[in-house]
Amino acid sequence: MSGDIKEGSAALPSKWPGSGGLQSKSEVVERGHPVWAEIDLAAIRHNVGLLRAAAPGAEVVGVVKGYAYGHGNPASAVAMLEGGATRLGVARVAEALHLREAGIGAPIHVFTEPPPEAAGMMLALELVPTVYTPAFADALSDAAVAAKRVVPVHLKLDTGMHRVGVVADDVSDVVRRLRALPGIDIEGAWSHFAVADVIDHPATRKQLDLFMDLVEEIERGGSVLRYKHIANSAATLSMPESHFDLVRCGVASFGLLPGRDFAGTDLRPALALKARVNMVKRLPAGEALSYGLTYELEHTSGVVTVPAGYADGYDRRLSGTADVLINGARHRVSGSVCMDQFLVDVGRAEVEVGATATLIGADGGDRITAEELADHVGTINYEITTRVPSRVPRLYLNEGPRG
């Protein structure tokens, strides 16, 4: 794309592929996009408001890593802030750079240490670093001293998930080392639950107890922690005692259930994935469809081509198992999903070229959810949305007032 694209409340640099939101379905058609994602920003605002109400004593960190779980940035980030989030969270410095270049000034937490060479960039972007290794802490200190600044950091504690973080036995030594480094202020401490998606799981209580013990140890050593945080979306909705000062909400902000135990929660799915039927045929009984010719027509049927495939994040394992909605009715994906398209046996139904096929989302009184597709594939709902790539344009609906 050339020039700046307007998305949310900020102009986006064209160097970010796929980051520009389209303004209308007609624009989708005019630009030749056969498949697109519709992102309901009002749903994101609603969901963040619900999460904020669930944790009234805490700030909400809107987690927008992974291109906002596939929903797109910075429009999703703007909607979160409009819904009541006060901070944002990402996994990588490049994700934060994207938001800063779009004019977003809210505090941005980076949950994973980048290579030490990126310490200066983190200061330049005024990010909130996570720290858990001496090498990165030293680099951050050097960058802070060079810039004549003090950088507030959040110490990551490993309470049982064992991805990254300081283990319990090392916490006192690490804190002493951090306190001795010039330019470093230990502003917060945090950890992450491994199984909060299962309500009342004993491992979650064990992690919370250890986190509270380690926080007490840190503060007993003389550090005043402005922010303590461990709650993710699931804990925000189910464990008030875990809320502390911040709650970090990603999956639920987008209307995706944090786990099966949360069915019935008033979360509104924000993403729909749609495509325009680009061919319709009548084929006789006995004809077979798609790669491998694994699907055979039992009757003379209408067969439609949907121009979406696994290069659009629509998993090949949905072949022969998932349904799509066309004109409000369910039809089964028929034969193998290809890279850019798949076929659907619609039987006697009348379908015209240009009809909308809904792969995720609602049509009429029915809805296909990310949870439904995840069950077919054997994964989690937010892997389904996160895998929708940048070649699929985002059509943003219900934008808030522009500042």
> Does the residue 20 lie in any domain?
no
> Does the residue 76 lie in any domain?
yes
Q: Please check whether residues 61 and 194 belong to one and the same domain.
A: yes
310-342 residue pLDDT tens: 999 999 999 999 999 999 999 999 999 999 999
pLDDT lower than 50: segments of the chain = 1-19, 403
Nearest C-alpha neighbor of 361 from the set 83, 71, 77: 71
Domain CATH code at residue 358: 2.40.37.10
Identified catalytic residue from 69, 206, 227, 291: 291
> Does the residue 72 lie in any domain?
yes
Identify the helix (H) or strand (E) that includes residue 283.
Answer: strand 279-283
Q: Please check whether residues 303 and 363 belong to one and the same domain.
A: yes
Q: Please check whether residues 226 and 91 belong to one and the same domain.
A: yes
Average pLDDT over the chain, rounded to an integer: 93
Q: Please check whether residues 190 and 143 belong to one and the same domain.
A: yes
The helix/strand count (H/E) of the chain reads as: 12, 22
Alpha carbon distance 230, 266 (integer Å): 23
Q: Please check whether residues 281 and 238 belong to one and the same domain.
A: no
What is the tally of structural domains in the chain?
A: 2
Structural domain ending residue among the three candidates 254, 289, 307:
254
Q: Please check whether residues 95 and 227 belong to one and the same domain.
A: yes
> Does the residue 13 lie in any domain?
no
> Does the residue 9 lie in any domain?
no
* pLDDT at position 28: 78
> Does the residue 32 lie in any domain?
no
> Does the residue 30 lie in any domain?
no
C-beta separation of 37 from 22 below 8 A: no
Q: What residues does 279 pair with on adjacent strands?
A: 305
Nearest C-alpha neighbor of 93 from the set 117, 69, 76: 117
Q: Please check whether residues 204 and 309 belong to one and the same domain.
A: no
* pLDDT at position 11: 34
Alpha carbon distance 194, 173 (integer Å): 25
Q: Judge whether 291 counts as a catalytic residue.
A: yes
* pLDDT at position 8: 32
C-beta separation of 49 from 18 below 8 A: no
* pLDDT at position 341: 98
HSE (side-chain half, CA atoms, 13 Å) at 6: 6
Q: What residues does 361 pair with on adjacent strands?
A: 368
pTM: 0.93
CA torsion sign for 258, 261, 265, 270 is: positive
Domain CATH code at residue 224: 3.20.20.10
Query: What three-state secondary structure class fits 74?
Result: coil
* pLDDT at position 5: 26
* pLDDT at position 123: 97
Structural domain ending residue among the three candidates 192, 226, 254:
254
> Does the residue 346 lie in any domain?
yes
Q: Please check whether residues 386 and 237 belong to one and the same domain.
A: no
Token pair 């994040």 is found at: 313
Q: Please check whether residues 300 and 346 belong to one and the same domain.
A: yes
* pLDDT at position 23: 61
Structural domain ending residue among the three candidates 254, 281, 302:
254
Q: Please check whether residues 101 and 45 belong to one and the same domain.
A: yes
Packing angle of the helix pair 41-54, 75-83 (nearest 10 deg): 40
250-264 residue pLDDT tens: 999 999 999 999 999
C-beta separation of 56 from 75 below 8 A: no
157-174 residue pLDDT tens: 999 999 999 999 999 999
Q: Please check whether residues 287 and 245 belong to one and the same domain.
A: no
Identify the domain containing residue 293 by its residue range: 271-397
C-beta separation of 161 from 192 below 8 A: yes
Beta strands in 42-200 (DSSP E): 59-63, 87-90, 108-110, 128-131, 151-156, 184-190
Identified catalytic residue from 65, 156, 228, 274: 65
Alpha carbon distance 18, 395 (integer Å): 11
Nearest C-alpha neighbor of 181 from the set 113, 118, 121, 131: 131
Q: Please check whether residues 188 and 287 belong to one and the same domain.
A: no
Alpha carbon distance 151, 125 (integer Å): 12
